[in-house]
């Protein structure tokens, strides 16, 4: 999870399991101007992630006054999720993008 946090939430965030509100992790980037709270929800599934999941994360982002939310999955998102997310400070990473991110990180690790 630390690899994911450093790539998606800023340079040097503090990332920890949340274990509440259905959130999988919370990252805090303390850099002035660009930092803030980042809510992370991970879904390991073979099926499409529901738009309701993305809406739920957006609600938590709003409730916690977070700078953004991230939903990452091994599967994919439907059109409703892709349409909703950018308007509500939520970034989506599907299985294809997750694989590319992991390959990029592994290639740069000695």
CA distance 88 to 57: 9
Residue 5 scores a pLDDT above 80? no
User: In which residue are the tokens 């916690």 written?
Assistant: 64
Whether the pLDDT of residue 6 is over 60: the answer is: no
The tokens describing 93, both together, are: 């990473």
Per-residue pLDDT tens over the stretch 10-36: 544 455 555 556 788 888 888 777 778
Kindly state the tokens that stand for 2.
């630390």
**Integer Cα distance of 21 and 11 in angstroms:** 26
- Return left, alpha or beta for 36; rule: phi > 0 is left, psi -120 to 50 is alpha, else beta: left
Other CB atoms within a 10 A radius of the CB of residue 96 amount to 11
pLDDT at position 95 is 94
Give the tens place of pLDDT for each residue, 57-104. 999 999 999 999 999 999 999 999 999 999 999 999 999 999 998 898
Identify the pLDDT of residue 109. Answer: 67
**pTM summary value:** 0.78
Q: What is the DSSP string of 95-110?
A: HHHHHHHHHHHHHH--
């Amino acid at each position: 999870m630390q690899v994911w946090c450093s790539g998606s939430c800023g340079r040097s965030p503090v990332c920890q399991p949340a274990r509440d509100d259905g959130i999988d992790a919370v990252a805090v980037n303390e850099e002035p101007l660009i930092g803030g709270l980042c809510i992370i929800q991970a879904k390991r599934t073979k099926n499409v992630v529901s738009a309701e999941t993305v809406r739920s994360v957006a609600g938590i982002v709003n409730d916690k006054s977070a700078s953004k939310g991230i939903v990452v999955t091994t599967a994919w998102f439907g059109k409703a999720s892709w349409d909703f997310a950018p308007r509500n400070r939520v970034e989506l990473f599907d299985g294809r993008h997750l694989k590319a991110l992991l390959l990029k990180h592994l290639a740069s690790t000695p």
